[in-house]
Amino acid sequence: MDSLKVKTAKNLGIVYGANLITIIFTTIATIILARLLIPEDFGLVALAGIITATIIAFVQDLGFNAALIQRQKDIEEATNIVFYTTIAINLFLFSVIFLIAPFAADFFHEERVTDIIRISAIGLIIGAFSAGHVGLMIKNLEYGKVMKINIIVSAISSLFSVILAFLGFSYWSLVYGSLLVAPSGVILYWYFSSWRPKISYNKKVAREMFGFGGLITFGNLLGFFMKNTDKFFIGKFLNASSLGIYDMGHNWGLIGANQIATVLNNVLFPTFSTIQNEKEKIKDASLKALKYTNLVTIPIAFGTIVIAPELVTFILGEKWIESIPVLQIFAVYGLFWSILAPVWNVFYAMGKAKLVVKIVALWLLSILVTIYIFLLQWNIIGVALSVTLSTIFACVITLISICKILNMKFSVIIETLKSSTIAAIIMFFSVMMTKMLIESSIYTLFIFIFVGIVVYFTALYIIEKDIFVEIREMLHLFFRSGKSI
């Protein structure tokens, strides 16, 4: 367990450090692109993303990568299965996407979407050739390599998009920049990984993996609709410009959840899988994951809400002002998603994929019941409210379920999150009072951020000094193992 603890601490350190670098790249690129392009450009790409990007991210391997990570035997055979199955599936998906692209364009009343969808889908075929390498690296907790690749790919993609935007490629700068991710990733994964596919396919192992991966795939399909229903309704009943504004608010509002909680999952799932039969160890590890994830994401969410007007006006530009309330609502969404993320890894690691499917199904149903009514009443703000309220509902169900599985009281989770929540609330009101005293500008925006950081960590230190001792111990474990990275 000590070895696992050291390795997990090292990997968490790598993920947080690499994520910080990635956030810097992507944030700078997004700001530049937001100033060079118009909301409609982002909206067109988001429309195409309903068909392409989400499938690439969630459906392409039918859950076989997750099955590989969770698997304890026949690893070489399983990796081969992931590689060849992903290629076959993605070739099929590309063909389907290519054929349905014109129908999607007709549905959204936007002809330009056809070519965007077809060109974006090429990434499916190219990206498939690194599927086995990705799964095996994550299974072996080789996060030093994975995060190096992510940083390089992010930098290349961001830089390419910005250059094309400067050259006047409008929405194509976003499309080609995203498309470059696939070939860059394949080259780097093959370079950093010693694994090479063999000409073999064990049908018995494949059936076993599909039994686990199939459930995850079904959950991912539900997740696909759950994550894209909002964009679908906006694209259908409003327009590309509204979707662009919504998507910008969505992405900035979720910056803490996406860049910290979601990526952190990639560390925690394989770590939990190694102790899947030891309930007490999983309980302790999951509570620590919940605590340290939200130690960062909770203040980011509260901070995003309070500085959203200045952030949008002075950083993104006045043409994005309509995204302010959407951004603030999604900061709340991110708050609850960062609580959900570590918990779902426990379900997967303990073989409770069916439970995840049920929760996602209820989540999706709650969105479908409210979204159209909210859209008619409040447009994109109503859509954001529908999605966020449904997420809070799913979060409550998830936490109740994990308490039953791990035999713990709900109050334990509240206690785990108490210190960071109280400190973040104090920070929120401190920044609000500072804003009342100082006139808002691009310069005072950084003063607000500085005040928020100082107040949060000061309040946290007063409330629970032991957290800083624990962080110091984790940093010690990380640097102790640093030579082996």
In whole angstroms, give the CA distance from residue 254 to residue 388: 11
As a three-state string, the secondary structure of 346-411 is HHHHCCCHHHHHHHHHHHHHHHHHHHHHHHHHHHHHHHHHHHHHHHHHHHHHHHHHHHHHCCCCHH
Quote the pLDDT of residue 384: 97
Average pLDDT, the chain: 84
Other beta carbons within 10 angstroms of residue 316's beta carbon come to 21
**How many Cβ atoms are within 10 Å of 135's Cβ, its own excluded?**
27
| Comparison of pLDDT for 55 and 412, the residue scoring more | 412
pLDDT of residue 265: 56
| Closest CA relative to residue 336, chosen from 249, 399, 407 | 399
- Residue with the larger pLDDT of the pair 88 and 225: 88
Rounded to 5 degrees, what angle do the CA atoms 138, 140, 144 make?
Answer: 65
Least confident of 48-52, 120-124, 315-319: 48-52
How far apart CA 363 and CA 374 sit, in angstroms, is 16
* Higher pLDDT pick, 222 / 113: 113
Distance CA 467, CA 475 (A): 12
242: left (phi over 0), alpha (psi -120 to 50) or beta: alpha
Average pLDDT estimate for 19-41: 89
pLDDT of residue 392: 95
Q: Give CA–CA dist 438/21, Å, rounded.
A: 31
Task: Report H helices in 311-349.
Answer: 324-349
- pLDDT confidence of residue 101: 92
Residue 273: pLDDT over 50: no
Q: What would the mean pLDDT of 349-370 be, rounded to a whole number?
A: 85
Locate 15 and state its tokens.
Answer: 């993920």
Instruction: Please give the structure tokens belonging to residue 254.
Output: 């979720």
Percent of the chain surpassing pLDDT 90: 46
Report the alpha-carbon distance of residue 325 to residue 233 in Å, rounded.
18
Residue 437: what pLDDT?
93
Whether the predicted pLDDT of 445 surpasses 50 = yes
As a whole number of angstroms, the distance between CA 99 and CA 415 comes to 52
Mean pLDDT in residue range 135-160:
85
**Tokens describing residue 63:** 């859950």
Cα distances (Å, whole numbers) of residue 224 to 58, 148, 221, 258, 442: 7, 28, 5, 16, 37
Q: First-to-last CA distance in the chain?
A: 19
pLDDT above 50 (res 275): no
- What digits encode the pLDDT tens for the residues 155-179? 999 999 999 999 999 999 999 999 9
**Amino acid 381: pLDDT:** 97
Is the pLDDT assigned to residue 115 strictly greater than 80?
A: yes
CA distance 215 to 209: 10
The pLDDT of 31-35, averaged and rounded, is: 95
pLDDT per position as a tens digit, 279-316: 677 777 778 778 878 888 899 999 999 999 999 999 99
CA angle (134 as vertex; 130, 137 as ends), nearest 5: 135
Using pLDDT thresholds of 50, 70 and 90, give the confidence band for residue 485.
very low
Listed in order, strand segments (DSSP E) in 433-483 are: none
Residues 6+ apart with CB under 8 A from 207: none
Q: Quick one: pLDDT band at residue 10, thresholds 50, 70, 90? A: low
The b-or-e profile of 217-230 (16+ CB within 10 A means b, else e) is bbbbbbbbbbbbbb
Q: What percent of the chain has pLDDT over 70?
A: 81
Question: Which value, in Å, is the radius of gyration of the alpha carbons in the chain?
Answer: 22
Q: For residues 303, 308, 312 and 313, what is the CA-based torsion angle, rounded to 10 degrees? A: -120
Which candidate, 218, 185, 241, places its Cα nearest to that of 379?
Answer: 241
- Among residues 230, 232, 135, the alpha carbon closest in space to that of 189 is found at 135
- pLDDT of residue 63 exceeding 80, the answer is no
Local structure of 238: helix, strand or coil: coil
Does the pLDDT of residue 484 top 50, yes or no? no
- Range with lowest mean pLDDT among 42-51, 54-63, 444-453: 54-63
Contact assessment for residue 298 and residue 419, using Cβ atoms and an 8 Å cutoff: no
Q: Is the pLDDT of residue 139 over 80?
A: no
Q: pLDDT value at position 287?
A: 81
Instruction: Kindly tell me if the per-residue pLDDT of 1 is higher than 60.
Output: no
Q: What is the mean pLDDT of residues 348-363?
A: 80
Most confidently predicted of 46-60, 255-269, 370-384 = 370-384
Confidence of residue 55 (pLDDT cuts 50, 70, 90): low
Cα separation, 160 vs 180, whole angstroms: 8
pLDDT reported for residue 212: 57
Cβ–Cβ < 8 Å for 367, 423: no
Question: What pLDDT is stored for residue 61 in this prediction?
Answer: 52
- For residue 478, the model assigns a pLDDT of 54
Render pLDDT for 235-266 as a digit per residue (tens, 0 to 9).
999 999 999 999 999 999 988 776 666 656 55
Q: Comparing 283 with 181, which gets the higher pLDDT?
A: 181
- Please report how the helices 240-253 and 203-237 are oriented relative to each other, as an axis angle in degrees rounded to 10: 120
Q: Which one-letter DSSP state was computed for residue 194?
A: -
Q: Which amino acid is at 61?
A: D
75/93 Cα distance (integer angstroms): 26
